[in-house]
Every structure is written in structure tokens, then in C-alpha cells.
Amino acid sequence: MSVRQSLLAILDQGPCYGYQLRAEFDRRTGSTWPLNVGQIYNTLDRLERDGLVAKGDVDAQGHVYWEITDAGSAEVAAWLASPVERSGGTRDELAIKLAVAATLPGVDVGEVIQAQRTASLRQLQELNRTKYAGANPDGPEELAWSLVVDSMIFAAEAEVRWLDHTEQRLAQHPQHALALELSTERPKRGRPAAQPAAV
């Protein structure tokens, strides 16, 4: 999630001070990704260093208003026009956990999967309850919030489907056939050799 670009996009609508930026971010995302004020000011300092925002007027309460520069507006336009790149590597904690658990002798990976499925279904139910508790689904703030919640619901549903798929694949193999004992081969120092590119 790009806090940097999100704050720039909000500033592209007009000058804001730090707490106001946090409130606007929360309002537009339904507070599903809480930001602390320190994070906002650190981001603003970096944006200023990069020439994307500048400090503007100070009001009677001492609030410093931040203004976007032309370069900042150009970065917002580029961000909105470009797709989000998903990482190529697998850093998903659950995928790594199940891959390791499936190869450990004596581990009942079915129990690991069931514990995760129970937690994932509980989260899915909570997300659905949260979604349907909205008062005015047609308002702009509620629409923005529901888009974020929908994304979380789809991700939770996909996780449950993936757990089902993983359980079915593992059921095709006897547990002892998947177990990997510790290797007696001494690893070489340094980085592992690069894998050849798939053709």
C-alpha cells in the first residue's frame, strides 16, 4: 500500500495539515489501514525533500498546510494511470508456513490447515457482518469503505479456497512421503546459484 501516493493524491485536491490528511485518508479508506500522525509527518518530510510538496500557510492554531507541487501532481497522475505491480516472489507467511509444515516429519499438516481455515472463516464472517452494518451504502465515504472491505472479503474467500486446494493436494500423498530429513550435505558459503530462467 502506498501511503506516499495516497497522501499526494489527497493533497492534489487542496492544501491540508497533518491531522487533516490522516482524517481524509481514514475517511476515504474506512479506517481499514490506520496511519499514525508520525508516519504522516515522516512521509510529508520525504515528499518535501523530493520536491513533491511544499510547506504553505500556517493558520491561527499553528497548523502548517502542505501544498502539492507540479511534480507531485505529475506523480499522482502517473500513480493513478499505472497498474499495481504484485511482487514476483512468494513472501506470504501462510504459504511458507504450510510448505515447511508439509515437509516436517511428525507434523500433521491437516491440523495446521484446519486451524487456519477456522481462523480464516471467522475473519470472513466478521468482514461480512461489518460490510452489512453500513448505514448508507450510496454515500461516497461508505462506497470507498465498502470497496476496501470487499477487497478484504475476496482475499479471505481466496485464502479459504486455497486452503481447500492445498488439503486436497496433500491428501494425494502419504505424510511420510513428504517428510524431508535434515540434509547431511554441507551447504556452500555465499548466495545460492541463480536458477535458470524458464523458457
Tell me the pTM: 0.65
End-to-end alpha carbon distance in the chain: 32
State the pLDDT confidence band at 142, using cuts at 50, 70 and 90: confident
Q: How far apart are CA 106 and CA 68, in angstroms?
A: 58
Instruction: Report the distance separating Cα 112 and Cα 93, nearest Å.
Output: 13
95-124: burial string, b at 16+ Cβ within 10 Å, e else = eeebeebbeeeeeebeebbeebbeebeebb
Question: Considering its fold, how many domains does the chain have in total?
Answer: 2
What value does the mean pLDDT of the chain take? 84
Q: Is residue 88 part of a domain?
A: no
Boundaries of domain holding 37: 3-81
Q: Does residue 191 fall inside a structural domain?
A: no
172 and 97 within one domain = yes
Residue 195 is predicted with a pLDDT of 60
> Do 62 and 120 share a domain, yes or no?
no
